[in-house]
Structure 1
Amino acid sequence: MASIIDSEVFLAFSTYATIVVLKMMLMAPLTAYFRITRKTFANLEDIWPGTIPEEKKKMLRTHDDVERVRRCHQNDLENIVPFVLIGLLYVLTGPDLSSALLHFRLFVGSRFIHTLAYVMALPQPSRGLSWVVGMVTTFSMAYRILTTILLL
């Protein structure tokens, strides 16, 4: 186990997993930014004190930009958490460094492209293709795990 933790593959995984988890975490402040700049809030207590009550009622609404960022964040949760779990198991199978780096870089790159395509409302298929690349990458690592452990 100690040799795996000291391996270049584990260090690479740790680096790329940290990058993509931090990216996911930054979606919450991005949502807050969009809420504040669009004056759109989900809860009454989120509106700054001193705002006129009639104005507060107007700010309790949804906004397309805020919802777009929220959906992007939700998509991150649905894809990054499985990547981290499957990626950790993948590292335990002892893959080649070049193969592991390809998987990690493809996934992280696809998530950044997906976020840009989602938040900036780029035309399809940019967002869809970036999502597919991330999913295929995660499934590829899962396949390696299964074929290594179960000898499929």
Structure 2
Amino acid sequence: MADFMKSEVFLAFSTYASVMLVKMLIMGPLTGYFRMSRGAFSNPEDARAHGGTDEESKKKLMTTNPDVERVRRCHQNDLENIIPFIGISLLYTLTEPNLSTALMHFRIFAASRILHSIAYLVPLPQPSRGLCWLVGLGTTFSMVYRVLKAGMRL
């Protein structure tokens, strides 16, 4: 096992998985920033802490904001795609793929998710966001195919 963890493919996986996790972690504070700057809170205690001392002012602060909701949907999409990528790509590394092929998968996925977030948050016209999502999903399924193919040989 120690040799596996020293392999170049595993190190590449670790790097790109870390980049994707950091990207996903950034979305939480970004949501908080948008909530603060737009004055749109979802919890009564947050509204109260930011000037919602009476019912009327609290009601004004407890609203949805399109910018906050856009960041939240982007974050939700990350959760739905990055977490499966990490699990699948870890299994993929166990199939001992060629380093250049593994790097291609990891880089394409990472680029597609970063571009997806840019397309979501800017926002860019469709189909840019959809294409980025589709490329990332296709990359993940390519690794699934390799894992299943390797498993069928057992």
Q: 2:129 matched to 1:111?
A: no
Alpha carbon RMSD of aligned pairs, Å? 1.3
Residue equivalent to 2:58: 56
Shifted more, 2-11 versus 98-107: the winner is 2-11
Task: Provide Cα deviations, 1:102-152, integer angstroms capped at 9, x if missing partner.
Answer: 000000000000000001111011100000010000000000001111139
Residue equivalent to 1:36: 36
The SS at the match of 1:122 is: coil
Q: 2:42 matched to 1:22?
A: no
Aligned pair count?
Answer: 152
Distance 1:8 1:36 in 2: 43
Residue 47 of structure 1 and its aligned partner are, at CA, apart by 2.6
TM-score, normalisation: structure 2: 0.95
Which letter maps to 1:143?
Y
Show structure 1 runs of 5+ residues with no match: none
Task: Provide Cα deviations, 1:33-63, integer angstroms capped at 9, x if missing partner.
Answer: 0000100000111135372423221010101
Residue equivalent to 1:86: 88
Cα pair distance change 1:44/1:84, threshold 3 Å: same
Which letter maps to 1:22?
V
Percent identical pairs in the alignment equals: 59
Distance 1:117 1:7 in 2: 34
Distance 2:57 2:138 in 1: 47
